[in-house]
Amino acid sequence: MDEDFYLEFGGVNYYVDFDALDSLLDIDKKNTKKNVIETETIISYDSENNVIGKTITKRENERNKEINLASYETLRLLMEVIFSYQNEDMDDTLGAQRALDSSTLPFKLSFNTLIKYGIIKECQ
């Protein structure tokens, strides 16, 4: 992984795990069906409003990706806090825990939440 894509905090490099992000946002984890079947019924009438024909069409389409919008908006906000945080007084040489202790409450909450859910991971 190129060092230009790391998030450095407290002398430790972190990255965003897009697979974990995608998994967390997926609304339909339990549904293994990959396709959706749509049924369309067309009924034909004559001039006296009597049914003269009926056509049923079934289409099978690939299921679209569905995401949990509340989770998406929350994660977006948490990541925005992380990426916009600036603390000139932070001493990176003392480590991530010390740097976290001197950060703001929104940053602490965002950072710890994203770490807990595996969205931000420490580079090995």
Q: What is the pLDDT of residue 85?
A: 80
CB 92 within 8 A of CB 8: yes
Residue 97 confidence (pLDDT) above 80: no
**Residue found under tokens 């998406």:** 72
Which is more confidently placed, 115 or 26? Answer: 115
Residue type, 79: M
Q: What is the pLDDT of residue 99?
A: 73
Confidence of residue 45 (pLDDT cuts 50, 70, 90): very high
Q: Which residues are within 8 A (CB) of 88 and not within 5 positions of it... i.e. 6 or more apart?
A: none
Cα 98 to Cα 89: distance, rounded to the nearest angstrom:
12
In sequence order, the β-bridge partners of residue 41 are 56
Cα 124 to Cα 117: distance, rounded to the nearest angstrom:
18
pTM given for the model? 0.61
Cα 123 to Cα 13: distance, rounded to the nearest angstrom:
6
C-alpha 94: how far from chain center: 32
If you average pLDDT over residues 34-38, what whole number do you get? 81
Q: What is the pLDDT of residue 6?
A: 67
The angle subtended at Cα 85 by Cα 84 and Cα 86, nearest 5°, is 115
The pLDDT mean for the chain works out to 81
If you average pLDDT over residues 54-77, what whole number do you get? 87
